[in-house]
Amino acid sequence: MSKAFTKESDADDEDEDAGPAPLPAGTKNYLTPAGYARLRAELMQLLDEERPRVVEVVSWAAKNGDRSENGDYLYGKKRLREIDRRIRFLTRRLDIAEVVDPSAHHGGDQVFFGATVTYAGPDGEARRITIKGIDEADSAAGEVSWIAPIARALLKARVGDEVLLHSPRGTEPIEVLAVDYPAPSP
């Protein structure tokens, strides 16, 4: 049977979250204050600006007659579902968020959440990462989630410690060279 004559269900779209994978069982949703503020700003922008704008377009398109061939209506309804899904995701994640201020460890030499760590791999090359929350980590910016294997290996280590990184390539020793935290806000 041709796909043109079958109705695609929107029901399976409803349960998918627009974002990272669910939190591992028994873990908390740690966020830095900046990460929490960014997610909250995205939620407010969706609620206050984007959703009302799309609802207005869908309402206007619905008044134009035949909805089955109305691109504005069809696209608008789809976009509305995407926005609502993202709103639900952000609301759930922010409700369970535990905001941790990494500046509390400023000047320390032990690795905790929010630390920027410089480490040397087995090849001796120095690398720098910042340990962030699941919802705020950006690998392109050198940020990793606190549940990533590299972050788990580094957590609680001190400058000068050698820890074992368990990765798909096998177990590798890495050495902590430096630990930095942001300065406390005045």
Q: What DSSP designation does 169 have? A: T
Quote the pTM value. 0.78
Whole-number pLDDT of residue 1: 47
Class of domain 27-99: mainly alpha
Q: How many residues appear in the chain?
A: 186
Question: Cβ-count burial of 32 within 10 angstroms (0-12 exposed, 13-18 middle, 19+ buried)?
Answer: buried
β-strand pairing of 97-99 with 143-145 = unpaired
Whole-number pLDDT of residue 58: 87
Q: pLDDT tens digits for the chain (186 residues)? A: 455 554 444 444 444 444 556 777 777 889 999 999 999 999 999 999 999 999 998 888 888 776 777 778 888 899 999 999 999 999 999 999 999 999 888 888 999 999 999 999 888 899 999 999 999 999 999 999 999 999 999 999 999 999 999 888 889 999 999 999 988 877
CATH number 1.10.10.10 given to 102-180: no
Whole-number pLDDT of residue 7: 47
Question: Rounded to the nearest 10 degrees, what angle do helices 51-62 and 71-95 cross at?
Answer: 150
Annotated domain spans of the chain: 27-99, 102-180
The residue behind tokens 């700003």 is 41
